[in-house]
Amino acid sequence: MDNEISVIDYEAANIGSVLRMLEKAGGKPVRASTPAEISAARRIILPGVGAFDHGMSQLHKRGLVDALNDAALVRRIPVMGICLGMQLMCRGSEEGGLPGLGWMDASVEKFQFDAEDRLPVPHMGWNTVRLCKDNPLLPTIEDRTRFYFVHSYKVRCDREDDVIAKTHYGVDFDSVFSRGNLFGAQFHPEKSHRYGMQLLFNFLKHTVHA
């Protein structure tokens, strides 16, 4: 089984926990931090934490954007974004002024709550994921399964058909999206115990012949 998977290391994520969870899920994760390593990848995970502009700046600084675009849009290998990585796949974010990768017709918006709502931002902790449609990423995961979130901004897809799952935190937001070879999860599967491991296993299994 070809289970090697490249995890993008661009100093905008602590990828140690991602690498460990991928190993538990049966993958053979490798760090990819250069264009050549991305060009050799068969499947990719783009993790991320922190600010949107910092993440995009780090990708540009390391010359990774062209290689990522080639992987996602030309070679069309499977790519999954996690948390900030999911947001970077969108057009842009209210958090900053830099354009995103623009792979998905989606924008990133800040949680805005009135004082009486008493909902803290960032949205942090366990929350349920409501499945919207069948997808290879979630076939063995039940509706309303809980995953671990840490984020202040939320994804809004232009096309409802791209939305695989939603989560409610004051408002509904798109917590999992997919189009073709592209996948995104707003939560952290590497921090979500056995359900996160199952999701990563599904990604590996679905893309084993890609």
Q: Which residues are catalytic?
A: 83, 188, 190
Amino acid at site 33: S
CA–CA separation, 18 and 84 (whole Å): 14
Tell the burial category of 70 from Cβ atoms under 10 Å away from its Cβ (0-12, 13-18, 19+).
Answer: middle
CA–CA separation, 137 and 159 (whole Å): 18
Look up residue 98 and give its two tokens. Answer: 């830099």
95-108: buried (b, 16+ CB within 10 Å) or exposed (e) per residue? bbebebbebbebbb
Query: 115 — phi, psi (to 5°)?
Result: -60, -35
Beta bridge partners of 30: 6
CA–CA separation, 136 and 88 (whole Å): 22
CA–CA separation, 104 and 197 (whole Å): 25
CA–CA separation, 59 and 54 (whole Å): 9
